[in-house]
Amino acid sequence: MTSKTLTARQLLPAPAPKTAPSRDLVSTRDLSSEEAGVLLSLTAMLKAKPEDFRTALSGKQMAMFFEKPSLRTRLTFEAGMAGLGGTTFFIDQTHERLNARESLSDIAHNVERWVDAVVMRTYEQSSIEGMAEHACIPVINALSGTEHPCQALADYFTLQERFGDLKDVQLAYVGDGNNVANSLLLTCALLGSSIRVATPQGYGPDADMLLAAQAIAQQTGARIDVMVNPREAVDGADAVYTDQWTSMGWEKEASQRIPKFAPYQVNKKLMACAAPHALFLHCLPAHRGEEVTDEIIDSPQSVVFDQAENRMHIQKAILVWLLGGGIGRFWVRSAHV
């Protein structure tokens, strides 16, 4: 009997075809109302007992593409993934846009073969949407010029820690109708809470985002009001939120924005319009002396560093939800019980 030499093709089975991931978090609109509430519950579990989740994502790998500089976003994702037993790779795109050398499609089809998830911080929302369209692994929006879903979820988790039932919380946002404002509107709507947004004329939230939030609010009972007068927005509020008047990429507009936004500065006088127990929120970094004064951001009312910490906890919950498989789904179900 003669021996037969097997080729590599005969020895190895054909590779399984790639299939699309079950979910992404490209936009807050990717969540249902129930899922948003479940993520907050799961976040509370992760924060209270991090030791129970040390190996939740053991062996999982995450790539982060950042076109914008970052302190909180990068460290909270890296620390969060490490705390779950996973590994992170950081790709600095601050000197070159992500698709400058090759198409998003080609990048996506490469990256999906190497890692289990992609986290993106970009100028254009379309870059994140393009990666999610082509990659067969979960894609997470860590910030775009249009949305900041992880931040808004962390903010509402912070409010939940302090006040309990979010349906009883009135949040006031004053300043620029930017990506943070857009995501706060959507998250408020999903959670059935209440928000008033006050911006200078012509600087309001994205019209499509506002319409989407209002449509969700009709189903959840959320209250959404958009106005120009900052004192009207802050009147009796449980929490007052602001952000930089000039976001990254719009620095050339700073000089013309400052006079228009000056009445929206969160100072002692404006904060006095809120409820006596009101909290102050800011996603950071803050331009002290512009959108907020030192006496407010450094006051006992300020929870800005609680927000920053909670970014890590909410992002851990998102990673478990998207990458935990059967275990992740079990924990999500448990969190909702």
Token couple for 214: 């209002």
- CB crowding 40-66: b at 16 or more within 10 Å, else e: bbbbbbbbeebeebeebbeebbbbbbb
Token couple for 165: 């039932």
Beta strands in the chain (DSSP E): 61-66, 87-92, 117-121, 139-143, 170-174, 194-198, 223-227, 239-242, 279-282
CA atoms of 305 and 333, how far apart (whole Å): 29
Rounded to a whole number of angstroms, the CA Rg of the chain reads: 22
Residues 6+ apart with CB under 8 A from 250: none
Token couple for 294: 């030192």
CB atoms < 10 A from the CB of 229, how many?
13
- Phi and psi (nearest 5°) for 120? -130, 140
Token couple for 182: 């857009």
User: Which residues are identified as catalytic?
Assistant: 121, 148, 151, 243, 283, 311
Token couple for 41: 């519950």
- Phi and psi (nearest 5°) for 61? -130, 140
